[in-house]
Structure 1
Amino acid sequence: MRKLMILCLAAASFSSMATTSGVEFMEQMDSDDDGYITLREAVKNTDLLREFGHIDIDEDGKISEAELIASDYGREVLSLPI
């Protein structure tokens, strides 16, 4: 529950800062267009695959756009402020 609350707060803080590169990144990685990056989809990017467990805050086996934006990896890749 605590992890989910942190995720929601972080997502709210950064949602207005997401750039088109974030949308493009999700579109590139989300090959089945379900709005999530699964472990199977993440294998296309070794850095993302390496960080998958840290990014998947709710541990449901997939990365949402909010989780990506809230992560250090996502902020680095999407050039968002830390």
Structure 2
Amino acid sequence: MKNLTIISPLLYAVLTTFLLFSNSSNAKTDLIEKLDLDQDGQISIKEAVAEPQLLAAFGKIDIDGNGLLTREELAKSKFNLIEH
């Protein structure tokens, strides 16, 4: 019974962390799916115009400066689009 008392909080922490990161990743993937009109797996500045918050942060998120946001760049950013 003592082992269960120790494992339960640990399991809770692991699952909570997993859910937080998976939701964040899914939100960024959904953002690409929503805005990626040419289906190249990236968001161009022209595509970002549809989301003013993303457009305002575009230059900071576009790490390599190529004018395209990749899943990796979005994942590294702290950008979160809050739906209204």
Q: Distance in 1 between matches of 2:48 and 2:59?
A: 11
Are 1:31 and 2:37 counterparts?
A: yes
Give the alignment of 1:8-19 within 5 angstroms: 17-19=21-23
Q: Could you tell me which runs of 5 or more consecutive residues in structure 2 were left unpaired when the two chains were aligned.
A: 1-20
> What is the RMSD computed on CA atoms of the aligned residues?
1.6
- Is residue 65 from structure 1 mapped to residue 80 from structure 2 by the alignment? no
Identity of aligned residues (%): 35
Runs of 4+ in 1 over 6 A off after TM superposition: none
The residue identity in structure 2 corresponding to 1:54 is: K
Number of equivalenced pairs: 60
- Mark the structure with the bigger radius of gyration: 2
Q: TM-score, normalised by structure 2?
A: 0.64
TM-score by length of 1: 0.65
* 1:32-74 deviation digits (Å, cap 9, x = unpaired): 110110000000000000000000000001000100110111x
Any idea what SS the aligned residue of 2:50 has? coil
- Distance, in Å, in 2 between the alignment partners of 1:18 and 1:52 is 23
Higher relative contact order (CA 8 A, sep 6+): 1
Structure 1 gaps of 5+ residues are: 1-16
